Amino acid sequence: MQFEHSAHLRAAHPDLVAGVVQATGITATADVRQRAAGHLARARERLACGPESTFGEIQAWRRAYTAMGLRPTQYRCASEALLRRLRLDGELPRLHPLVDLCNAVSAAYAIPVAVLDLDRVDGDLTVRPAHGDEDYLTFAGDIEHPDPGEVTYVDAAGRAHARRWVNRQSGLSAVRADTSSVLIVAEALHADAERDVTGLVAALVADLTDGWGPPVASAVLTAATPRFTVRAAGVPGEEVAPATR
């Protein structure tokens, strides 16, 4: 299985950098609350200096949404939505240890992070403009079709695993209690995206190693290295050293 952003999308967003981590052996019983709390503390420190709308990472996504013809305050990128909720409510909801961890990391770095159950993704996964006939399963169980040209994650079966790029994930590939194999994707467009995504991936590798064991593989994708190969279980991949903070 291959994961990549289409050439058309990269041409439209030349500053795009993506971090990818493949992990197996995921369970719903791991305790990563301390690590998640550390990331949330970092997010709160930053929010104490100003609202999320002032963050360069968020502003870059707002500009991208505006360029795509979307109202950025109507369709917020996932990290902005999380930071806004953290600022207003003081906490984030607890759903599943891995989801809670990735939400905390997303808030800490102000970068959208998606977690997809690989057992529910069919074949290659490409982030690209939709044709309009892709099937998207909502969390309520309804089928929607992304608008033509709307950026989404599309697998080989023509199923959309996101709406409006980093605005909303699909209920189909969302993490469940029985999820064991995942692909984690972080995407950024701001000026220091490569540096920050590299740090985010390293932090995730350390968190996953502590909670579930070393990930199968991880990488930072740029225009020069745009593709990630999802490896079969037991096949080693490129490792990223844990971040030091």
Digit-coded pLDDT (tens) for 83-93: 999 999 999 99
Output the average pLDDT for the chain. Answer: 95
d(CA 174, CA 176): 6
Q: Would you place residue 234 in the very low, low, confident or very high pLDDT band (cuts 50, 70, 90)?
A: low
- How would DSSP label each residue in 51-95? -GGG-HHHHHHHHHHHHTT--TTTS--HHHHHHHHHHHHSS----
d(CA 234, CA 23): 11
The arithmetic mean of pLDDT across residues 190-205, rounded, is: 98
pLDDT in tens, 125-148: 999 999 999 999 999 999 999 999
Beta strand pairing status for 113-117 and 217-221?
Answer: unpaired
The arithmetic mean of pLDDT across residues 101-107, rounded, is: 98
Task: Show contacts of 58-61: CB within 8 Å, 24+ apart.
Answer: 58/83, 58/110, 59/190, 60/15, 60/188, 60/189, 60/190, 60/191, 60/193, 61/112, 61/166, 61/189
pLDDT at 233: 61
CA distances from 82 to 89, 132, 203, 225 (A): 10, 28, 18, 29
Judged against a pLDDT cut of 50, whether residue 204 lies above it is answered with yes
Q: What angle do CA 202, 99, 102 make, to 5 degrees?
A: 25
Q: Would you place residue 232 in the very low, low, confident or very high pLDDT band (cuts 50, 70, 90)?
A: confident
d(CA 101, CA 29): 13
Answer whether 23's CB lies under 8 Å from 119's CB: no
Q: What angle do CA 65, 204, 96 make, to 5 degrees?
A: 80
pLDDT at 117: 98
Judged against a pLDDT cut of 70, whether residue 237 lies above it is answered with no
CB atoms within 10 A of CB 206: 18
pLDDT at 243: 36
pTM: 0.94
pLDDT in tens, 6-36: 999 999 999 999 999 999 999 999 999 999 9
pLDDT at 39: 98
The arithmetic mean of pLDDT across residues 90-103, rounded, is: 97
The arithmetic mean of pLDDT across residues 110-131, rounded, is: 98
Judged against a pLDDT cut of 60, whether residue 241 lies above it is answered with no
Taken as a whole, the chain contains a residue count of 245
Which residues touch 174 (CB under 8 Å, ≥6 apart)? 115, 117, 139
